[in-house]
Amino acid sequence: MKILHVAGARPNFMKVAAVIAALEQRPALFEQRLVHTGQHYDYEMSQVFFDELRLPQPDEFLNCGSGTHAEQTARVMLAFELALLHDRPDWVFVVGDVNSTLACALVCAKLGVRVAHVEAGLRSWDRAMPEEINRLLTDQIADLLFTPSPEAETNLLREGIAPEKIHFVGNVMIDTLVRMLPSARSRSVLADLGLARGDYYLVTLHRPSNVDDAQLLAEILSALGELAQRKRVIFPVHPRTRQRIEQLDSRNIRFTGVELLEPKGYLDFLALTEAAGLALTDSGGVQEETTYLGVPCLTLRPGTERPVTLTHGSNRLCASQREAILSAVEQADAVASDLTRRPPLWDGRAADRIVEVMLRQLL
DSSP class of residue 85 equals H
The SS3 of residue 315 is: strand
Cβ(314)–Cβ(291) below 8 Å: yes
- Among candidate residues 34, 300, 88, the one with its CA nearest the CA of residue 286: 300
To the query of whether residue 206 is one of the catalytic residues in this protein, the response is yes
Sheet holding 60-61, edge to edge: 60-61, 31-36, 2-7, 91-95, 114-118, 144-147, 166-168
What is the C-alpha separation between 294 and 288, in angstroms, rounded?
Answer: 10
Q: Are 87 and 304 in contact (CB under 8 A)?
A: no
Element (H, E) at 203: strand 200-204
Question: Residue 147 in contact with residue 166, Cβ under 8 Å?
Answer: yes
Q: Backbone phi, then psi, for 21, in 5-degree steps?
A: -60, -40
7-143-207 Cα angle (round to 5):
40
Closest CA to 106 of 75, 67, 63, 152: 75
Set 117, 167, 206, 312: catalytic member: 206
Residue 172 dihedral angles phi and psi, to the nearest 5°: -70, -25
In angstroms, the CA 348 to CA 356 distance is 15
d(CA 13, CA 46): 8
Radius of gyration for the alpha carbons in the chain, expressed in angstroms and rounded: 20
For the chain, how many helices (H) and strands (E)? 16, 13
- Residues with catalytic roles: 206
